[in-house]
Amino acid sequence: PGTVTATVYNILGQPVRRVDYGRRQAGAHGLTWQIDAGLPAGAYLLAVEVDGDRVATRKLLVVR
pLDDT of residue 7: 96
At residue 43, does pLDDT exceed 90? yes
pTM: 0.83
CA distance 31 to 14: 21
pLDDT single digits (tens) 8-40: 999 999 999 999 988 988 888 887 778 888 889
User: Could you tell me which CATH class the domain 2-62 is placed in?
Assistant: mainly beta
What is the per-residue pLDDT across 53-62, written as a single tens digit (0 to 9) for each?
999 999 999 9
The residues spanned by each domain of the chain are 2-62
- Sheet with 15-24, strands from edge to edge, namely 15-24, 2-9, 42-50, 53-62
